[in-house]
Amino acid sequence: MGEECQQAILRKGILVLFLSLLFILPGCLDGDDSNDGGNNSSSSDKITLDIWHTFAAESKEEEVFTNAVKAFEANNPNVSVDITMVPFGNADQLFMTAAQGGQAPDLMRLSSDQLGAIGEIRVDSLPLLEDLRPHLTPQDRSNFEERALAAMRYGDALYGVPASQDCLSLIYNKALFDAQGVDYPDESWTHDDLLNAAQQLTYQDVQGLALPVKSAYWWFPIQEGFGGSLFNDSGTPTLDSNGSAEAMEWMLDLELEHEVVATGTQIEGMKNQFISSKAAMIIDGPWNWATYEASRLSIGQTILPIVDDSGDRMSPLVTYKGWSVSKQSEHKIAASELALWLSSASVQKDFALETYTMPTHSELKNDQDILGDDVIRGFLEQTQFGTPAPTTRAMSLVYDPLSTAFEQAYSGISTTEDALSDANEELISQIDGLQKAAPLQPNTGYRTIPLEFQLNQSVLNYSIYVDEVLHTQFIVSDVLGTSNSGYDSCTSSGEELNQSGQIRIIPTLATNLNCSLTGMIPNVEHIIDVYSDGELFYSTIGSTSVSDQRPSAGDTSPVMFALGAIVLSLIALLSYGRWRDQRLKRTNSRLAHAYIAPALLALAVLTFYPVIYGFWLSFTDADQTHLGDQSFIGLSNFWDVITASGFIRVTIFTLVWTVVNVTAHIGIGLFLALLLQRTSIRGKTAYRTLLLLPWAVPSYISVLVWRGMFQPDGFINDLLGTNIDFLSDPTGAQVVVILVNIWLGVPFMMMSISGALQALPKDMYEAAELDGVTGWDAFRHLTLPNLRSALVPLTLLGFIWTFNMFNVIYLMTDGGPNLYFGEPGQTDILITYVYDVAFREGAYGVAAAWSVIIFLMLLAFSWTYMKQTNATEGSS
Amino acid sequence: MTESQIMRDWYVPVEVLTLRTWLVVAFIVNLLLLTVEVLREDSLSLILGLLICVLFAALRASLPHVHELGKRNISLALSALIIGIGLFRLGSSSLSFFDIWMHAWAIIPSILSLWWLSNRAVTVWTSNKLSTSAIEFGLLRNFETINKHEKISTHLILLHFVLITVIPLLWIIDIAFSPGNALGGEIGDSFSTEHFSKILKGDSFWIWFVNSLIVSIGTSLLGLTIAIPAGYAFSRYKFTGRDVSMFAFLLVQMFPGIIILVPYFLVMKTLGLLNTHLGLILAYCVTALPLCVWMLKGFFDTIPRELEEAATLDGCNQFQVFTKVVLPLSTPAIAVTALFSFLAAWNEFLLALTFNTSNDMYTLPVGLASLISSTGQAWGDFAAASVLVSLPVALLFLFFQKFLIDGLSAGGVKG
């Protein structure tokens, strides 16, 4: 084949690429259609709703949920529902990614604290979730407990319909109480009673109480009990309010001084303790009740005790879970119907009776079946004594400074008062440092029909019916009631009416009424009847044609152009390289560029755009409060990164982490590979397979099992006969995470080096042995030089992978222990800290800057390493 | 120098040879085991442990050479001393399995050294009564027993490593086979297959399994298809842009993936690859490419050009040279990279989660994650699922070892 043939091949290749692009382009253009779409749901077309839930696979909750959805589909034949289960731990991130990519589902199950975290996010200056206030009628709203509904509001907007609630309560093991002759806990208990009982119940290997004393979530009820509170009425943090320090002191003493709580109890471990009857009491929620019963424990529940000193009862934090409609949904009306159905009395009752999910429906408060179940009744009672968690961004930020405060107080670095006041200062400064989203422009008039009519002084009550369904109720009275909660507007002579529950109160002297009726279907005529005392008072017909607002996220055309540009530039570069080689008369490498083209193309198409985008982001002020609307701010992010406190420390630990790991991986891997290769023993296959197993098992579970093994009541401490909490000591934690990562990484290195050793000719060793070169010398002078071509890329890639190894540290310690406020934890490496910055703070620009710095560090290392080892040399 | 003098200088009894390495190992292990005493905060044991380490070092140093009877006797004394201290420590410990094992590392090497150094061969060797026939006899003995010693030491070392490797996995298996969903309890206290039946009876697991299988096999195949030519080109040819391209493969691994999820998502959406097998396959190929390309290049480097030239002279064209000469010799490399690509795809979570928006495309890692509910983990189910996920991989390891161990020897092709 002559040179012309080679050129022909190259030309053909380019043609193929162009043709394939042509095929892709129309496909991409089609994809944009999904963003247009009807903004009203006419009842004659078939609609498909996409709903995401976070119930565990194959669980009872999933079953109840699926049945509820099927019932909805049966009642609404023009709606079909696609159910997607998403893993709970990643649900909100997944939702955010999908929303930015224009693929968000119609409905999503979210909790009130998640609403607090994502409420401030703006994509294309619109929030992620639909404000449900115009979608709900006052009758709809009256179905839910006031507090529950209020908990689903972020700022003024209502982002979800509450379907369930939960909070901590006191659960006890009756058998253990009987064994020690202690009376069961009851509502009259004080916190001293709790402590005394716990002390009486602690004997041999049984602890009186199972409680993770360093966890803020368990401290909240105690803080409230001692008279403190997390925030004051205006939402300012008051972590160090009166009683907070005493509460923390009392809680820590349970483990440190009175020893009624086992050393180093963590959330997962406390459940195990209780299940294996090693703890007499546990402060836990209803979510584990079924598991405890399944372990054949005889258990009881009562509400948390009163604190003597203040006279207040311990009040746990109540969180609510509900259904939200995404702002991108094209079928918001059907979606809100489904959300209301899933939170209806019958569905909530099913959930309650079959899965111990506490209901929020007002009808169910007096339902016989609900009250008849002791467990549900007991936990519901606890929620009455609970404090709803504020649905604010500050609430979502509370855990970090508090965890540091607990570490400091627990290890004695600081007193509880100082720790809490430092934590409070840190929280306040974090909140101040956050970017705030621009105020929302509400979609006025959407699904709302204004109604105005004159009142009759002699009438005492009114009821508005829309299409023969009760909508709003009024009474005429001079009772004060509470002021309008901001869901909708009803005025008389310009004054907003007060309400009692959802019933509006008209002052006795009022003459007219002007109401915005929510929950109307657009572009449809509605018959509005006003009844008073059962008789028709006023009637009219109204409609609204205000349409839905939807963000235009996920536009793929800029991406398409970018991809096209990348592909074309790559082809141009390859062709240039080919041309230059021809000029330099390198005739033996005619096909080289064609050989590397597929790999380079795949790499370029999939990864260049995201990486370039990441680079660009680092120069902007990208933040979750204004996604899609970032502006260039130059190097300011980089300055923030370099001057961040703890930057040097976390970089040093990352380097230590990487170097120790890679050295051990390759050292031990080499050792084992040599051992298996060069000695002749039986059972090599078995040994190799066993040694490779850490690579086969999903690292998620093996890392968590290792974590369990290093707990104070875990395997390692059993072996040693000690009681050390390895992971809460900075050096201990660092050593442990490194050891676990070594365990994880050696198999791969061992196998790769085994493969490389295979390629070495065996007669080389035989020849050497004849010359008397054996053992160590043979290794140094024969094996190593020949392994170089395999060891160099393995070291290089091993370094890069370990530097960016996220899983192990995230799962074992989550970067902890966090000993300093506002700084990375003691086992944080650069990449785990980037994760915190990106997802907790939503400061994407800064996170991108951190990533670029990581990139530059790795780049510098690789470049030097490659130069030093001449890694790119070809065969000699 | 006469032959017998050479032999005299050169011969060392096998026991002494073995002790030379084993005592060093015993020293290192006992040194490492001192951390246990530190963690236990037991000063007496710590001091005794330190003493043992020092004694082992001294023992190693006092191993005799030919005709050094005195040194041999010192060694015997030191061994006896170590045995004594070791037994004392053992006696005063809690006699758990771990303690017995720990003290065995002091007692057994010293007993061995005492026994061996006092046997006939060594006594004769260190005395003045060494005859040529004794040396010949000794050399024969060496030849027969050195292999045995090597095998025993290899087995010992490998067993220790296997133990460390396998303990957490035993836990996982135990949890998978225990009733209930707790992460705790003793190993082997109860047995139940409820988790396995629950998972295997449900539809979801099989859907996840099939998806993972398709995606992982696809990744291996496609990855090899595009990496092999690239590796070959980098190894054999000098061309413009060679260094830069090789470096480019590394560059993309360096950027933390978390930040680029959203643009990556958009790229997939643009290409219409969301929620498809092909999308994941391509994404995983790209992740695995750097290693595949570099490893294959490294392997191709070790294949001498002369072989290819010889084949060309024999009338093969480019393609035949590649398939008949190069590929067979690189079976280990191809096996490693295929296995690596497969596992990279099989265990990958984040991209599979982000790019799949429908449950029937979920792969095993995502399915596993969805067993976790908001209220905590169903550990039993999760462990059972993990065991099921690891089984195919373990089988794959067994299968692939054939390629690793029996790569075609170079002998046949060499001219």
Q: Interior CA angle at B222 toward B216 and B227, to 5°?
A: 120
pLDDT digits (tens, 9 = 90+) for B333-387: 888 889 889 998 998 888 999 999 888 999 999 988 888 777 667 788 888 988 9
Largest CA distance in chain B: 88
Phi and psi at A683, nearest 5°, equal: 85, 20
pLDDT score at A191: 92
| A chain contacts of residue B256, beta-carbon cutoff 8 Å | 804, 806, 831, 834, 851, 854-855
Return all residues near A148 (Cβ < 8 A) that are at least 6 apart: A162, A165, A320, A322, A360, A388
pLDDT digits (tens, 9 = 90+) for B229-263: 999 888 888 888 888 888 888 887 888 887 888 88
Q: Which residue of B has its CA nearest to A554?
A: B266
pLDDT score at B186: 64
Distance of alpha carbon A104 from alpha carbon A118, whole angstroms: 14
Are the beta carbons of A875 and B262 separated by less than 8 Å? no
Are the beta carbons of B96 and A696 separated by less than 8 Å? no
What count of CB pairs under 8 Å joins A to B?
438
Q: Interior CA angle at A642 toward A640 and A645, to 5°?
A: 85
Q: Which residue of B has its CA nearest to A699?
A: B347
B407 has a pLDDT exceeding 70: no
SS (H, E, C) A646-704: CHHHHHHHHHHHHHHHHHHHHHHHHHHHHHHHHCCCCCHHHHHHHHHHHHHCCHHHHHH
Spatial contact of A787 and B301, defined as CB atoms under 8 Å apart? no
pLDDT score at A36: 37
Distance of alpha carbon B18 from alpha carbon B156, whole angstroms: 14
**Given the structure tokens 């029996």, which residue do they identify?**
B406
Spatial contact of A530 and A453, defined as CB atoms under 8 Å apart? yes
Give the β-pairing of B372-373 and A207-210. Answer: unpaired
Give A588: exposed, middle or buried? Use CB within 10 Å, 0-12, 13-18, 19+. exposed
Interface of B with A in 63-82 (CB under 8 A): none
Are the beta carbons of A559 and B298 separated by less than 8 Å? no
| A chain contacts of residue B172, beta-carbon cutoff 8 Å | 697, 701-702, 705
pLDDT digits (tens, 9 = 90+) for A240-263: 999 999 999 999 999 999 999 988
Give the β-pairing of A498-500 and A461-466. Answer: unpaired
The DSSP call for residue A549 is P
pLDDT score at A171: 94
Query: What six digits make up the tokens of A175?
Result: 């058998």
Distance of alpha carbon A846 from alpha carbon A489, whole angstroms: 42
CA distances from A627 to A559, A611, A613, A620 (A): 16, 18, 14, 11
Q: Does B163 touch chain A (CB under 8 A)?
A: no
| B chain contacts of residue A605, beta-carbon cutoff 8 Å | 267, 271
Q: Does A56 touch chain B (CB under 8 A)?
A: yes
- A58 vs B202, B299, B300: nearest CB: B202
Spatial contact of A415 and A409, defined as CB atoms under 8 Å apart? yes
A28 has a pLDDT exceeding 60: no
- B233 vs A84, A596, A684: nearest CB: A596
| A chain contacts of residue B409, beta-carbon cutoff 8 Å | 761-762
Mean pLDDT of B179-183: 70
- B265 vs A54, A97, A288: nearest CB: A97
| B chain contacts of residue A711, beta-carbon cutoff 8 Å | none
Interface of B with A in 191-210 (CB under 8 A): 198-199, 202, 204
Mean pLDDT of A535-544: 89
- A793 vs B94, B267, B298: nearest CB: B298
Are the beta carbons of A82 and B358 separated by less than 8 Å? yes
Give the β-pairing of A317-325 and A161-166. Answer: antiparallel
Q: Does A870 touch chain B (CB under 8 A)?
A: no
Q: Does B45 touch chain A (CB under 8 A)?
A: no
Are the beta carbons of B394 and A689 separated by less than 8 Å? yes
Strand order of the β-sheet with A279-284 is A207-210, A279-284, A169-173, A299-302
Spatial contact of B254 and A616, defined as CB atoms under 8 Å apart? no
Q: Does B341 touch chain A (CB under 8 A)?
A: no
Q: Which residue of B has its CA nearest to A725?
A: B39
- A721 vs B94, B305, B382: nearest CB: B94
pLDDT digits (tens, 9 = 90+) for A188-229: 999 999 999 999 999 888 999 999 999 999 999 999 999 999
| B chain contacts of residue A602, beta-carbon cutoff 8 Å | 226, 282, 285-286, 289
A864 has a pLDDT exceeding 60: yes
- B262 vs A100, A589, A695: nearest CB: A100
Measured in whole angstroms, the distance separating CA A344 from the mean position of its chain's CA atoms is 27
C-alpha closest to that of A300 among A460, A135, A177, A166: A177
- Residues counted in chain B: 415
pLDDT digits (tens, 9 = 90+) for A321-369: 999 999 999 999 999 999 999 999 999 999 999 988 999 999 898 888 8
The rounded percent of chain A whose pLDDT value lies above 70 is: 93
- B154 vs A679, A752, A793: nearest CB: A679
A42 has a pLDDT exceeding 50: no
Mean pLDDT of B327-331: 81
B195 has a pLDDT exceeding 60: yes
Categorise residue A859: left if φ over 0, alpha if ψ from -120 to 50, beta otherwise.
alpha
Categorise residue B30: left if φ over 0, alpha if ψ from -120 to 50, beta otherwise.
alpha
pTM above 0.80, yes or no: yes
Distance of alpha carbon B402 from alpha carbon A748, whole angstroms: 17
Mean pLDDT of chain A: 87
pLDDT score at A12: 53
Largest CA distance in chain A: 120
The rounded percent of chain B whose pLDDT value lies above 90 is: 32
- B300 vs A288, A696, A875: nearest CB: A875
B412 has a pLDDT exceeding 50: no
How close does chain B come to A536, measured CA to CA in Å?
50
pLDDT digits (tens, 9 = 90+) for B202-229: 888 899 999 999 999 999 999 999 999 9
pLDDT score at B187: 66
The DSSP call for residue A226 is T
pLDDT score at B406: 54
Distance of alpha carbon A675 from alpha carbon A672, whole angstroms: 5
Confidence class of residue A774 from pLDDT cuts 50, 70 and 90? low
Q: Does B291 touch chain A (CB under 8 A)?
A: yes
Q: Considering Cα of A30, then A34, then A37, then A41, what sign does the dihedral take?
A: positive
H or E element at residue B358: none
Q: Which residue of B has its CA nearest to A101?
A: B266
Distance of alpha carbon A189 from alpha carbon A385, whole angstroms: 14
Q: Interior CA angle at A342 toward A154 and A123, to 5°?
A: 35
